[in-house]
Structure 1
Amino acid sequence: MAAAISTLSILFMVWTIKAVDGAGIGISYGRAASNLPPPVQVAQVLAHSATFDCVKLFDLRFAHKWVRTNIVPRVDDTNNARILVGNEVISTANRSLVSSLVPAMQNLHTVLTSLSLQHRIKVASPQSLGVLSTSNPPSTGKFREGRVAEVMRPLLSFLRATGSPFTVNAHPFFRFAVDTVDYALFRLNPGVEDQNTGLVYSNMLDGQLDAVFSAIKRLGFDDVDIVISETGWPSVGDPRELGVNVDNARDYNKNLVQHVSSGTDTPLKPNRTFEAYIFSLFDENLKPGPLSQRNFGLFHPDLLPVYIGVLTTEVGGHATAAVQTLNPNTLRFKTMVHSEAEHRRPIVA
């Protein structure tokens, strides 16, 4: 499966020493831009962040060699590492890539087992909500038939057998409408009732997660954990893109941090907490698609915050980020294999 894995990019995660027991907030450090600051400068901004437990860095390399040369030497510093193979692979039209996904994951797990790392480093694969045929109400969540169903059962079997989570890119931004914007942004709203269960949802993200849980449970894998591998909201978009502005971006990410950090559960699984990664640390000027795709960042490339309230605070009327000297002894490392995919939201007339 070397050919299949070589098409994937590797995602390197830096964890602070802060422990994460099932729930935590991370930030995606995508680098699809030509004007980003040096990584060491970024590390100084994030090293002592009180908000984020982890950071994702994207880097394209060959998986087997990367595991041996980058993970093994740092294994003593590795804490609950995870390798993510691909990004939304099952939603693509590439049948060859879809069919190679689980074998590639099994191959990586075999490599880790040969190095006695299988208990410390898990293998997973982030999927989009597009793998669901139904998601509303959440209790009706179901995976699509055909090739999605064909690969989903072996994928979930692998995750269960290896103790890995099902990772999902959950973006309320791509699903909300004019009358559900407050529901999508965790703002005060009347809630949405699932008439099948009588459960009331106060925000769209919880509904999306429970729809995924329902789909997983329908296949008999409700013991597999769920991780939010990506979620966020853009601050700038094309004129016809609905709900794209600084206020909404700030509110979504700020409220997300509060929601996840509080340990709040979801209606269908009240004892579950989530690990979530905000997309993204920086605006990325090389991203394809609508203008919003290049403006999910919390920071501009010059390290000035796009808005205050998530990683930044206001001091004397000026936005500031806590910048301190990076101390390698306070870091833990995570690793992921990851390939980026475009996200597109329909233009609203």
Structure 2
Amino acid sequence: MKISRSFVRCLLLLLVFFVQKGYVTAKPFTGTYGINYGRIADNIPSPNEVVKLLKSAKIKNVRIYDYDHTVLDAFKGSGLDLVIGLPNGMVKEMSNNPDHALTWVKDNVQSYLPETHIVGIAVGNEVLGSNDQDLQSSLYNAIKNIYNATQKLKLNNLVQITTAHSQAVFATSYPPSSCVFTETVSQNMKKLLELFSEIGSPFCLNAYPFLAYMGSPDQIDINYALFNPTNGIYDEKTKLHYDNMLDAQIDATYAALEDAGFGKMEVVVTETGWASHGDENEEAATFENARTYNYNLRKRLAKRKGTPRRPKSMLKAYIFALFNENSKPGPTSERNFGLYKPDGTIAYDVGFPSLKSSSSVKEIGAHWYSYVSVLTTCASTLFLFLRS
């Protein structure tokens, strides 16, 4: 049976109609595994090649840090779920001008739907953990204006609005039950959490056991950071045991949310990974450690389970990152978080194919994966519509 592009397009348009009418709310994260597609490099594959790679690897959830139109065009008809980013440099502009926010959403979201499956907008990245007070104070209004724009365009049930936080927003995170937000961010954070609670957005966390271990190698067992067998830690207050650091970092976030009065909010990990190469003072940045972390993390996510504090909330994480990015500033480790090398071959084996090794059979399978995904979504939408 041959499925035409026009048929798939009609189904997608039908789905958007139902979503806009409020019959169903889109799910911005399918399954448990996602990837960050960073592009601060001059030697990585083209966006079209990246789409082929992602489909052959069956990675459906993708996050980018901007709204580059060559990427949005490449993702058309792919069946992949894309979260786009509003860069930090545009946050103040969007905060001060609701009309600019509306125009931005029209040009970079509405005009690409439904062919490019944009499921989320991340407004800024790690803003509240930065030293820019003006930027911090602008974040809430920027998010509010972007959300109001999606609401005005009847896209608010289709596109989720978020922002990602670093662990710099926490005063302490050990033991997990002691975690609270710092006083410097608490006022801005409270407003954001109230808004996200109203619109149904999760708390997005960039969590790096790699960075935590690098900061205290004498106090942290590297096996605990790498998901390897270890004694772990025991939280006396909650009587919970942790056998890996990522779970502890996430539960520390839940503790801070509960302390702030938002105990029902979901936590989604928007960045986590391990560098495969670093400077002389970054001894933990090795290929073996990076492979171990990412391989064990993939196994952890495949279990589709929660954390000790939230066992029923299935953990979801975007891995950082798809490629090594040779133009990123900072220490050598910053340029070596990729699962893939610039030529599309794997940096180390965690179970994904290389771009060059993906056969035509895999590509056919990836196409059918996209079609089946669309058909399944439309079928469920029609079912919900007929029931209402």
Superposition TM-score, scaled by structure 1 size? 0.82
User: 1:288 aligned to 321, 326, 329, which one?
Assistant: 329
Aligned residue among 227, 236, 239 for 1:198 = 239
1:125 alignment partner, SS class: strand
Which residue of the other structure, out of 289, 311, 324, is the alignment partner of 2:352? 311
- Length-normalised TM-score, structure 2: 0.74
Offset from partner CA, 1:170-220 (integer Å, 9 cap, x none): 010010225411001111111210121221001000000000000000011
Do the aligned partners of residues 113 and 262 (structure 1) sit closer, same or farther apart at CA in structure 2, a change above 3 Å counting? same
The answer to which structure, 1 or 2, has the higher relative contact order (CA under 8 A, 6+ apart) is: 1
Q: How does 1:96-245 map to 2 (within 5 A)?
A: 96-146=134-184, 148-176=185-213, 177-178=217-218, 179-245=220-286
Whole-angstrom distance in 2 between the partners of 1:114 and 1:64: 8
Structure-2 change in CA distance of 1:226 and 1:272 (3 Å): same
Partners in 1 of 2:28 and 2:102 — Cα distance? 27
Aligned to 1:247: 288
Letter in 2 for 1:103: N
Question: Which structure 1 segments of 5+ residues have no match?
Answer: 1-18, 314-318, 334-349
Which one has the largest radius of gyration?
2
Cα deviations by residue, 1:73-112 (Å, 9 ceiling, x for unpaired): 4434576812111010001111111001011000011101
Q: Which residue of 1 aligns with 2:113?
A: 75
Partner of 1:262: 303
Query: Does the residue aligned with 1:59 lie in a helix, a strand or coil?
Result: coil
Deviation at 1:127, TM superposition (A): 0.3
How many residue pairs end up in the alignment?
Answer: 308
- Aligned counterparts of 2:299 and 2:274: Cα–Cα separation in 1: 15
Q: CA, structure 1 residues 321+175, in 2 after alignment: closer, same or farther (shift >3 Å)?
A: farther
Contact preservation (8 Å) 2:28, 2:159: no
- Deviating more after overlay: 272-281 vs 20-29: 20-29
Aligned residue in 1 for 2:33: 25
The match for 2:42 among 17, 24, 34 is 34
Larger displacement relative to structure 2 (97-106 or 114-123): 114-123
Q: What is the distance in 1 between the residues matched to 2:140 and 2:171?
A: 21
CA RMSD, Structure 1 to Structure 2 (Å): 2.5
2:66 is aligned, of 54, 59, 71, to: 59
- For 1:174 and 1:226, the matched residues in 2 are separated by 20
SS at match of 2:330: coil
Report the alpha carbon displacement of residue 31 of structure 1 after superposing the two structures with TM: 0.5
More strand by share: 1
Q: Name the SS of the counterpart of 1:271 in structure 2.
A: coil
Structure 2, gaps ≥5 residues long: 1-26, 69-89, 91-100, 375-388
Structure 1's consecutive aligned runs of 4 or more residues displaced over 6 angstroms after TM superposition are: 19-22
Separation in structure 2 between the aligned mates of residue 213 and residue 23 of structure 1, nearest angstrom: 21
Determine which structure has the larger helix proportion and give its number.
2
Distance, in Å, in 2 between the alignment partners of 1:321 and 1:171 is 30
Contact 1:20–1:53 under 8 Å retained in 2? no
Cross-structure match for 1:324: 363
